[in-house]
Amino acid sequence: MLYIIGLGLGDERDITLRGLEVVKKCHKIYMEVYTSLLSFGLSADGLSKLENLYGKAITLSDREMVEEKADHMLSESRDADVAFLVVGDPFGATTHSDLVVRAKKMGIAVKIVHNASVMNAIGICGLQLYRYGETVSIPFFTETWRPDSFYEKIQRNRMMGLHTLCLLDIRVKEPSLESLCRGRKQYEPPRYMTINTAIEQLLEVEQTREESAYTEETECVGFARLGSEDQMIVAGTMRQLQMIDFGPPLHCLVITGKTHPLEEEMLDFYRCSM
When the beta carbons of 110 and 242 are compared against a second copy, the nearer one is 110
Q: How many angstroms separate the CA atoms of 1 and 170, rounded?
A: 30
- CA-nearest of 242, 252, 247, 196 to 222 is 252
Q: Backbone phi, then psi, for 84, in 5-degree steps?
A: -115, 115
Within 13 Å, how many C-alpha atoms sit on residue 87's CB side?
A: 28
Segment 169 to 228, residues that bind a second copy, using CB under 8 A: 227
- Burial of 273 (C-beta count, 10 Å sphere; 0-12/13-18/19+): exposed
Instruction: Answer yes or no: are the C-beta atoms of 14 and 111 closer than 8 Å.
Output: no
Give the containing element (helix H, strand E) for 21. Answer: helix 17-25
Give the x/- contact pattern for a second copy in 26-65, rule: CB under 8 A: ----------------------------------------
Please state the closest distance from residue 11 (CB atom) to a second copy, in A. Answer: 8
Contact status: 109 vs a second copy (CB under 8 A):
no
Q: Report in angstroms how near the CB of residue 187 gets to a second copy at its nearest.
A: 27
Question: If binding is defined by CB under 8 A, does position 134 make contact with a second copy?
Answer: yes
- Contact indicator for 215, 238 with CB cutoff of 8 Å: yes
Q: Which amino acid is at 140?
A: F
Of the residues 23, 31, 65, 121, which one makes contact with a second copy according to CB under 8 A: 121
Answer for which of 35, 120, 155, 179 binds a second copy (CB under 8 A) is 120
Site size toward a second copy (CB under 8 A) is 55
167 binding a second copy? (CB under 8 A): yes
Q: Render 185-248 in DSSP notation, one character per residue.
A: --BPPPEE--HHHHHHHHHHHHHHH-S-S--TT-EEEEEESTTSTT-EEEEEEHHHHHT----S
Among 92, 222, 236, 249, binds a second copy (CB under 8 A): 92
Q: Which of residues 1 and 124 has its CB atom nearest to a second copy in the complex?
A: 124
Would you mind telling me the total number of residues written for the chain in this entry?
274
Q: Which is nearer to a second copy, 22 or 242 (CB)?
A: 22
- Select from 24-32, 98-106, 181-189, 215-223 the region that touches a second copy (CB under 8 A): 98-106
Binding mask 225-254 for a second copy (x = CB under 8 A): --x---------------------------
- Closest distance to a second copy from the beta carbon of 133 (Å): 6
Angle, helices 97-105 vs 70-79, to 10°: value is: 50
Binding site for a second copy (CB under 8 A): 6, 8-10, 12-18, 20-21, 89-93, 95, 97-98, 100-101, 104, 112, 114-117, 119-121, 123-124, 126, 128-137, 156, 160, 162, 167, 227, 262-263, 265-266, 269
